[in-house]
Amino acid sequence: MAGSLNRVMLIGRLTRDPELRYTPSGTAVCNLALATNRYGTDPSGERKEYTDYHDVVVWNQGNRKLAELCSQYLQKGRLVYVEGRMQTRSWDDAQSGQKRYKTEVNANDVQFLDSRQDGGAPAESSPNAAPAGASPEVAGDIDPDDIPF
């Protein structure tokens, strides 16, 4: 197979409220922290649930105000679908003088999968309510009260 592929699709719950900020040129960027569950067996053979944490960066894209929508309508505990690509950034830490790295998901689509706390209709960032085959019942394994931050 020629070429390569960098595509990430996640369904999980936010571990904290979104953080919206703006670049010096005025472009909105929103940072999300997402938790996903997976299941496996520990060394003794017992079935165990594992939680993975993902840093997600959402940008406004042209007329699509995705970063601002995420900041406005999402909060800790909400179930979301994120699609994008993996990206690793590096920088020199001024305090320690060491090179630092951070891998995050650069999102090009975020869909809100559960309804708001007030019982209103589901808030969506795109016309489709959920990706094909996605089921909130399957992905909703994280209790927001169990998230440590």
Helix (H, G, I), strand (E, B) or coil at 145: helix
Give the model's pLDDT for residue 70: 95
CA dihedral 129, 132, 13, 73 (to 10 degrees): -20
Q: What is the pLDDT of residue 143?
A: 60
What is the rounded distance in angstroms from the CA atom of residue 97 to the CA atom of residue 102?
Answer: 16
- Residue (of 62, 87, 56) closest to 74 by Cα position: 56
pLDDT value for 10: 98
Phi-psi group of 97: left, alpha or beta (phi > 0 → left; psi -120 to 50 → alpha; rest → beta): left
Q: What's the whole-model pTM score?
A: 0.72
Alpha helices, DSSP H, located in 11-79: 66-73
- The confidence score (pLDDT) of residue 15 equals 97
Contact present, 110 and 76 (Cβ < 8 Å): no
What local confidence, expressed as pLDDT, does residue 1 receive?
Answer: 62
pLDDT at 131: 42
For every one of its 149 residues, what pLDDT tens digit does the chain have, with 9 covering 90 and above?
679 999 999 999 999 999 999 999 999 999 999 999 999 998 999 999 999 999 999 999 888 899 999 999 999 999 999 999 999 999 998 898 899 999 999 999 999 998 765 333 344 444 344 444 444 444 445 566 666 54
Structure tokens at 118: 């007030």
In one-letter notation, the amino acid at residue 41 is T
- 108-118 as b/e: b if 16+ CB within 10 A: bbbbbbeeeee
